[in-house]
Structure formats: C-alpha cells, structure tokens
Chains A and B, each alone.
Chain A
C-alpha cells in the first residue's frame, strides 16, 4: 500500500519519508538511502533530535567537565598539585552547546552525502494517507514516524521552565544553582545529580521507588547510593512528590512517604525527571487511524508497522526502552524490512545495553539478579570489585564492581551489571557475548589483556564458578 501521489505537489515522489531526525530518524533515512531509496526527512527543529541536541551528547559534554573537575580535586592522590581549581559555568554550558551544534552539522553533512532531502517543517498526516509538511503535500510511498519523546510531568505538577525544570532547561541554565532538588532517580536524574554536585551545588535527589536507578540491579543501586552520599548528595527514596511551591527566589518541594512523613525540601530550583512521553500529538495520527496505547504508537517489533498500511514507527515514540541505540537498531531493521533485505537482523530486546554516565558510571545488559532468579532458572552470580583490579587501582577508580549473572546449566550470560571503572565502555563485550550466545566458557577462554579494566569481566565469570584468581 502506498501513500497517495500528491496532486499538483512538488512532483517529487519519495520512497521513504522519515518524520524526525533523532537517532531513530536519521539512521532510518541513511539506511534507506544506502538501500537505494529516495528519502526525505522532516524535522521541525535541529537535526539530531533530542539525543544530539538535548540529550545524550550535550549532557555527556557537561559530565566530562564535571568529571575532570572532580579529578582535579583529587590530584593530590596522584602526587600532583594544582592551584586555583575552578570553573566558568557559562563556558561549561557553552562547550556543551558547541558539541551539540557539531553533532547537528554532522547529520546535515551525512544527509547531503546520502542525497537525503531535509524538509524543515512540521509533519502532519491527513486522511486518507497524505503526508503534509507545513500544510504542503509530500508524496511518499512509506512513512517512518520517529518523533521521539519529551519529558512528562506528574499529576498536578509540571515544568515551568524556570524554577521547575526539565532536562532541557537544566542543561542551559544561565548560572549554577546553589541548591537543586531532583525528582526522579532514573538515568537523567542521577546524571544531573552528579553533574551539579560536582560543581558544588547542594543536590537532593528524590525517588518514589525504593532505590536509585530502579531498573538496575539492586546491588548497583546500593553502590551508587553509597557513592552519592559520600559525595554529599542527599538521597531520599520511597518518597513521592506531593506539590511544588515556587517563588521568584526558589522552590519548596513537598514530599511524603505514602501520604505520611511529610517533608519540605527548599532549593533554588527543582528538576523534574520522572520520565518521558511519546511525541504523538499534532501528527494527525488519530485522523488517519494510527493506534496509540498508553501514549505511544502501537507498532510490531519486527516490521515496525503501525495500524495503518505504509506507516511505520520506531524509537521512543513506540515505547520503552527509551534509548537512542534502541531507536537506531529499530531504524535499521524497519528500513531493511521495507526494502525487502534478506536476513534482516531482528532487534534482540534482551541484548540492549543501558548506560548511565554519572560517576561512578553504570552499565548493564540483560536480566538483573532478581529477574534471573524470578525467571525460575538456577543461576550463578559472579562479582569482581574494582578495588581488586590492578588497572583500577592504578587509575584510582576503585569504586564499584562487575557483576555477572549466568545460567547455572549452560553458562549462558543472562545479565551483566557494572558500576565504576569503565562500565559504559566495557558493557560492549558483554552485549556481544549475549547477542552471540557466548557462554561462560567462551569468556573464560578469551585471553584478556593485563592490566585492563576489561579483565575484570573474566574475573567476575571466574568468581561465578568459584575459580577467581585475583580475588
């Protein structure tokens, strides 16, 4: 089924029109072009979407500044000395914006190189199956919706962009707040907690669930909490937010544990980081009959087809996990299916890693220990603390551990959870092991270089079998 040919339109007929240019959209567009399609990308804002402009990339730039500052404060441990350690907040923010701008430029270049038309404007679908860009019809055989997601509020509480921030404002504040209450301890919440705490802001982080990073393994949450508390971050878990009172000078966040133990947290500002919702509004989805469920577009996880022929959807807008690399993986699978590529690698949702870039870093893939045990399998758990790692000690990064969860019977790697060290880089090896269905034997049989952070992975597997050498 194809979208209707435009009547008197530009005459350009696209094989593929992608709405959104984030890590889902731009990857879909380029893969489509590689496969010989004539592709248009409709983007109403900067190329690169949230990831490139307001998410992954600019926040990592901020965190880099924080991390280096953090290290400078600990130079004496390395026998080094520096005076006048400090920062210029405006320049930290400016660098982050510059890195984001570079990212957007990079995507513009890739579009040009792949002969992809960038249609700046707002896309809308109209019955029966017409694609409009700023009201003008664009003829395309297939549409891929990759409009992503945006921060959501809480019942009765929403962002005001000034005192009650979303991540978007939090990364471009004109000046560093002296105090900040962060509501929500998911990846965004804890990354900003680390960033602002490293710059000296008094940070309180509040999570309604019982622990930081509730989706991660419990031991990881515990270790992160210990580390945060050591850094002077106040961690309050099990408390929900009842109300936020704002004044020109600050906020008062009223929190409570199941309606009791009410407390008031006063701060310069509050960051509301309690999750995101799909960007499904104003696209004309209802009008053409694209089904939604819980605020996300309903799409299958093989062809990423929506309920309307010829209209596909990928990335955050079809629901969790809300991760850039998940969107990119879906983009490739979706477009390859559209193009009829043989042997498309279906996205394996059990091998998608999750990374959080606070210090200590957190990374994981697969099941947590609890999930693995609850699945009814017999499991073996192995751990290796960074303080036992030669490389980690030389680097002075001895917080945290590597934890692996293996199926006791076949040694299948069910899950891996890393905190500290080079967690977000090391998770790649474990993701490869999972997607390649390697077992403990293959990890143990792989000679890991010494001294490296990576050898801790092997050590953790050894530990699972009671064969740890260095522990």
Chain B
C-alpha cells in the first residue's frame, strides 16, 4: 500500500520549506532514518529524514519548489507498486485563506497534476494545509497581518471566526507562554523593522524598480518583529561607559592567548554576569505570571545573508570567556551556512546585538519574544571626556561606548532596567569581574 510522504515541520516556526535537493531518487530503497532530501526552512537547511521503510515510488515536487507544511512531496511503497494506482481524487490543501481572493489569490506551489496520484493524505493535508475561516475573519486577519495558519478556530468544526482573529495581538501569531518560550528569535535594529502596512511592492513599480521575492527567513523576520514591536511595550535606556578598561582587558587577553576573542564576546560575558547579579531582569512575561529564569542564555544577533538569526550561548554567566568565544564563533559560522539546529537558535533568556563594528554609535534593538530585554552595543570610539579627580576636572581623550537596553515594561520597570544597565556598565568598566 503506497503512502504519501508530506513536508514535515523541520523548524519550530516553519510554515513552508524549499526542497533544495533530493538525496534519494525514485526506486531507491528507504530504511528508517534515511535522509531523503535537504530542505530550506525559515531558519536553516535541514535534513529530511524518513522513519518509514519502503521504496521511493515517486517524487512529487521538483528541487527548488516551495512546499507548504503537510503538503505531499513523495510516495513511498513496495517495489513494483505503481503509484498511479493509488486512489485518485484526494483533495490537496486549498490555497490558504487570507492570501487574497480572485486573481493571483492561489499561490500554491503544488503542481495540480499530482493530485490524482495521492492517497491517504486527506486528513493530514487538511490538518496542516487548509485553513477554515469566515470571510469576516479573513478580512480582519488581512488587515491586521494575522497569519490565519497560526490561529486556533473556535467556530463550528474549528473554523476561524472573528473573535479568534481579534483576540490575536496585532501582526502576530498565537502562542501561549509555554510555546513562546520555545519560540525562535531574531533581533534587528529598529531601522530594519518591516512595515506592517500595505507595502508599495503591491503596487506598480517605477522604472528600474525590482521586486525581490520574500525568502522564508524574511517572512519569519517580518512576522516576528511586527509581533514584538506591536505587542511588547518597549522602553529604552542608554548609558555611556568608559571603554578604556575593556579595551585594555581585550588587549591583554589577545596578548595572552592565540585564541580569537572579540570585544563582542566580552560584551556577551558582561551581559551574562550582570544578569546573574540582577536576576529579576532575566525573566519573561506570561499572562499567568512572570517566568524568572534560573539560567542565563544569551541570544546573539547574527546577520546572515538576507536576514539574521539569534543563536543562543547557554549559561554564559558560568562559562569562561574562551568558551563563550569558541561557542559563539562556531554558532556564527554555522548560522551563516544555515546549518543551525532549531534548539540552537531558540530558548534564549535575554539577547544582545552589536553594531559597533559598523560604526553605529547607539541604537535601540527590538526585543525577541518571549525575552524581556535586549542590549544594543554601540561602537567604541574616542571622545572628549570630563575626568573628575577630586576637585580638579580636566578634559581628556578616552575610549567610550554607548549601551542601550530595550526593556519589556511588563517585566522590567525603569528602576530595574536602570539597575541592570548600571550593572552592565560596572562589569564593562571593571572587566576583571568577568573572570572572577
């Protein structure tokens, strides 16, 4: 009996995947655990492993095709069994509701001719592909940028109705706090925030304008950031730190070891140490209570081609600077190769974003839900500084840096935010604290 293989969920936020490469071909014998394809998800390129046994009878999508979660990709069966004899007429997931009506409103990438060759997919395909929703719910969802696929329907037969959509925060997906803790996070400067408003891309472009298709990562970034910026009451605190001690400390380390340790690694450590000292700030909001973390896992914003990702350095407050440096380097390399595993870019408790290397003096970053804060590191540069020594004040040239903390006001009040930021500055100005 032939069975249909569908696109699995390979990342926690994945809604569709690009089938990059088939690693098995029609006729190949498949054993449980075999990788049959490589799939690009919104976060990383993943191996598509089968836990079934059989022979690949048919590949239903071409390399490069975008396939929705739960949509059929291949047929597995007994050798010699003819796939085409499988029961015809099974419904494929319909074009998703909310993706527009009328012309151009059916952006399904699945080739219609495969429908007659599929069987046993109805239930699963419907579960994952088709969204039942009322016309009113679709209109409101479109207006608010709510992805209906992430909304639980409370209407007849699980149909999504108005109340389900209006209860979702603007531009976000539904998630409860438990799920939210597992959510994958991305962080970027405010300037990169995509507009939730109807974009000019939907209109006619001028001469020389070019429409760039949205990558899976770009879509995820857009959705996550809109959610974060519209649902989290952000506020921002900036302090200027004396960077001379950190600069000197970094030079000392460089002189002492061949290992490549960056200023960024030191900032990660400084943030982790400060968070360990101000544990109240290392928390997450949830409707039924604040979750105060017992661990300090720092998400490090990493820019990659066409986007960014936030791999997590676990228990950074307990790790040596060398360990943090090695781990971060490895995560960055693999993030840029899109080889991170989902657990490596989810579950941080606080994040850091550094734009110092671009010469940015100061910026405000967007928080990664469900975290309650993110530290934005500006460039270290020389500034004219007033040095107070007893009664005498002189102007000196010193290395300084601006640190901006973005806080979720539901979790961190001004005083607590200031306490954390002061602690960070203290560690940076007395970096010996990082190794004690």
Contact = CB atoms under 8 A, between A and B. Distances in A.
A410 interface: yes
B158 interface: yes
A439 B157 CA distance: 20
Interface string A228-260: 000000000000000000000000000000000
Interface stretch (B30-38, B74-82, B131-139, B218-226): B131-139
A409 B139 CA distance: 9
B136 A438 contact: yes
Interface in B147-172: 156-158, 161-162
B98 to A, nearest CB: 13
A441 B136 CA distance: 10
Which of B134, B140, B157, B161 has the largest count of A CB atoms less than 10 A from its CB?
B134
Interface residues of A, number: 12
B156 A345 contact: yes
Nearest to A407: B136
A437 B164 CA distance: 12
Which of B137, B139, B143, B162 has the largest count of A CB atoms less than 10 A from its CB?
B139
A162 interface: no
B158 A437 contact: no
Given A410-B136, A412-B136, A442-B135, A437 B162 contact: yes
Nearest to B133: A437
A442 B139 CA distance: 12
Which of B135, B139, B162 has the largest count of A CB atoms less than 10 A from its CB?
B135
Contacts of A174: none
A410 B158 contact: no
A25 interface: no
Contact of B139 (A343, A411, A436): A411
A345 B158 CA distance: 11
Given A436-B134, A438-B134, A439-B135, A343 B156 contact: yes
A439 B162 CA distance: 12
A465 to B, nearest CB: 15
Contacts of A442: 135
A410 B161 CA distance: 14
A437 B156 contact: no
Given A343-B158, A437-B161, A410 B139 contact: yes
Given A438-B135, A442-B135, A343 B157 contact: yes
A34 B148 CA distance: 35
A437 B157 contact: no
Nearest to A441: B135
Nearest to B101: A441
B136 A439 contact: yes
B140 A410 contact: yes
A438 B140 CA distance: 12
A451 B161 CA distance: 33
Interface in A405-462: 409-412, 436-439, 441-442
A436 B132 CA distance: 12
Nearest to A410: B139
A326 to B, nearest CB: 19
Nearest to B136: A437
Contacts of A411: 139
Contacts of A410: 136, 139-140, 143
A247 B369 CA distance: 79
B353 to A, nearest CB: 37
Nearest to A442: B135
Contacts of A409: 143
B143 to A, nearest CB: 8
A412 B165 CA distance: 14
A401 B162 CA distance: 29
B166 to A, nearest CB: 11
A343 to B, nearest CB: 6
A439 B141 CA distance: 14
Interface string B277-307: 0000000000000000000000000000000
A442 B133 CA distance: 14
Interface in A11-60: none
Nearest to A413: B136
B127 to A, nearest CB: 15
Contacts of B162: 412, 437
A122 B36 CA distance: 73
Which of A410, A412, A442 has the largest count of B CB atoms less than 10 A from its CB?
A410
Interface string B116-140: 0000000000000000001111011
A419 to B, nearest CB: 26
A351 to B, nearest CB: 12
Nearest to A412: B136
B235 to A, nearest CB: 30
B294 to A, nearest CB: 39
A439 B139 contact: yes
A410 B162 CA distance: 11
B361 to A, nearest CB: 43
Contacts of B143: 409-410
Contacts of B157: 343
Interface in B261-276: none
Contacts of B156: 343, 345
B175 to A, nearest CB: 23
A438 B158 CA distance: 17
B292 to A, nearest CB: 35
Contacts of A436: 134-135
B365 to A, nearest CB: 34
B243 to A, nearest CB: 52
A293 B302 CA distance: 62
Contacts of B139: 410-411, 439
Nearest to B156: A345
A345 B157 CA distance: 9
B148 to A, nearest CB: 13
Contacts of A441: 135
A44 to B, nearest CB: 37
Nearest to B140: A410
Contacts of B161: 437
A441 B134 CA distance: 12
Nearest to A440: B135
B97 to A, nearest CB: 12
Interface string B70-102: 000000000000000000000000000000000
A442 to B, nearest CB: 5
B159 to A, nearest CB: 9
Contacts of B137: 437
Which of A345, A437, A438 has the largest count of B CB atoms less than 10 A from its CB?
A437
Nearest to A409: B143
Contacts of A412: 136, 162
A343 B162 CA distance: 17
A442 B143 CA distance: 18
A343 B136 CA distance: 21
Contacts of A343: 156-158
A345 B155 CA distance: 8
A135 to B, nearest CB: 44
Nearest to A346: B154
A439 B136 CA distance: 6
A411 B162 CA distance: 13
Nearest to B157: A343
What are the 6 tightest A-B residue pairs by CB atom distance, in nearest-first order?
Answer: A437-B134, A437-B136, A410-B139, A439-B135, A412-B136, A438-B135
Given A437-B136, A439-B135, 13 more contacts: A343-B156, A343-B158, A409-B143, A410-B139, A410-B140, A410-B143, A412-B162, A436-B134, A436-B135, A437-B134, A437-B161, A439-B136, A439-B139
26 contacts: A343-B156, A343-B157, A343-B158, A345-B156, A409-B143, A410-B136, A410-B139, A410-B140, A410-B143, A411-B139, A412-B136, A412-B162, A436-B134, A436-B135, A437-B134, A437-B136, A437-B137, A437-B161, A437-B162, A438-B134, A438-B135, A438-B136, A439-B135, A439-B136, A439-B139, A442-B135
Interface of A: 343, 345, 409-412, 436-439, 441-442
